[in-house]
Structure 1
Amino acid sequence: MSNLRLNLIAAACNNMGIGVNGTLPWTIRKDMKFFNVMSTGNPPEGKQNVAIMGKKTWFSIPPKFRPLKNRINVVLSRSLQEKPEGSQYLFDSLESAIEHLSKPEMQKEIHEVWIVGGQSVYKVSMESPLCHRIYLTKVFADIECDTFFPEIDMERFHLVSDPAINGETQEENGLKFQFLIYERKL
């Protein structure tokens, strides 16, 4: 069993939509900043966080922002034969990625592991016993989406607070949103 812990990070609207036509359905700069601060973190010297994502998520990131800076970028795909340009690793499953990232030589380089999308990668990650926390930006709006965040099993996760994160409802571009943290129950 790996000693890695998975943190998921996403933003979802009222119907748990996270995307439409391969893009984010809203622009909330505070949420993008939150995503970058959390998934980059402040690792000890010589270490970096890992950002694991599916192929569609990788290609939905505008090229000028790929790879995600100051993170080890891991792409999951069953169809790609070569890692996308700019990414560090390509694996055919989350299990394969975890197996590789759990190797002692990789553990020396890794601080935290962040799951950054999309829908199927979130689902398999939430089902993993390694899933520790879900950082969800709840967007209080009804927005048409074609990609959705999986239902959070409240038998396995509960809401927690973190003094470093503003859990109050905020507003930007006419959209109200809130940073929520769900943690796996022990």
Structure 2
Amino acid sequence: MSKVKLNLIAAACENMGIGANGTLPWKLKKEMAYFATMTTKVKDTNKTNAVIMGRRTWDCIPMKYRPLSDRLNIVLTHQVDVVKGKVPEGVIVVPGLDEAISYIESRDDIESTWVIGGSSIYKAAMEHPNCGKIYLTEIQKSFDCDTFFPNIDKQQFHLVDEEEIPGEIQMEGDISYYFRVYRRL
């Protein structure tokens, strides 16, 4: 069994929407800071974290933030050769989740692995035996979205409390949300 545990991290609104026209439908600074902290924070300072994303998610990250700093960026695509020539040095391009996991296993400097989207990558990761936890920011409002987070199977994933994750309602402007953690049984 692989030692690489997949953590999924996403923000979704009431209708489980996660994106619209290649961008986030909301502007939540504290929520973005939470994402950055969660995906970069390491206990061992000699290690780094990996973020796994699909090519469309990569394309949706504003140029000035690509690749996501202080993290190993892994892009999944069926067009490996095409995409490899378009990404900066150090960004890993592989055809699928298993190849990403194998690559991470081949290194001893990766502490945590985060799946950051989009829909089909989240779905594949949730169904993968290595999936450990889902960190889902549940936005208490509906937005018009064209991309959605897959349904969480409550038979497989249970809501848990984690010490570092605030349990109380968060507010930014007129939007409230909760940081939730679901652990696979």
For the aligned pair, the TM-score class normalised by the smaller chain equals over 0.9
CA drift at 1:85: 2.1
DSSP-derived class of the 1:138 partner? strand
Taking structure 2 as the reference length, the TM-score comes to 0.95
Distance in 2 (alpha carbons) for counterparts of 1:21 and 1:80: 24
Q: Deviations over 1:70-129 (max 9, x none)?
A: 0000000002414242352000110111122122xx1x1110000001000000000011
Q: Deviations over 1:5-50 (max 9, x none)?
A: 0000000000100000000000011110000000001241321000
Q: Does the alignment pair 1:98 with 2:108?
A: no
- Distance (Å, rounded) in 1 between the aligned partners of 2:164 and 2:46: 24
- TM-score after normalising by structure 1: 0.94
Indicate conservation of the 8 Å contact 2:53/2:118, yes or no. yes
Cα deviations across residues 140-172 of structure 1 (Å, max 9, x unaligned)? 111110000000001111000112111111111
Return the alpha-carbon distance in structure 2 between the equivalents of residues 95 and 132 of structure 1: 15
In percent, how many aligned pairs have the same letter? Answer: 45
**Secondary structure in structure 2 of the residue aligned to 1:126:** helix
2:88 maps to 1:88: no
Q: Which runs of 5+ in 2 are unaligned?
A: none
The one-letter code sitting in structure 2 at the alignment partner of 1:77 is: T
Equivalent residues of 2:7, 2:134 under 8 A apart: yes
Counterpart amino acid of residue 167 in structure 2: G
The residue number in structure 2 matching 1:46 is 46
After superposition, what is the alpha-carbon deviation per residue over 1:56-82, rounded to whole angstroms, capped at 9, x for unaligned?
100101000111010000000002414
Task: Please show how residues 92-171 of structure 1 align to structure 2 within 5 Å.
Answer: 92-103=95-106, 106=107, 108-171=108-171
The equivalent of 2:175 in structure 1 is 175
2:37 and 2:45 map into 1 onto residues whose CA distance is 17
Partner Cα distance (2:52, 2:164) in 1: 24
Please say if residues 80 and 94 of structure 2, whose CA atoms lie closer than 8 Å, have aligned partners that are also in contact. no
Aligned length: 182
- Tell me whether 65-74 or 93-102 shows the greater mean CA deviation: 93-102
After alignment, is 87-96 or 59-68 more displaced? 87-96
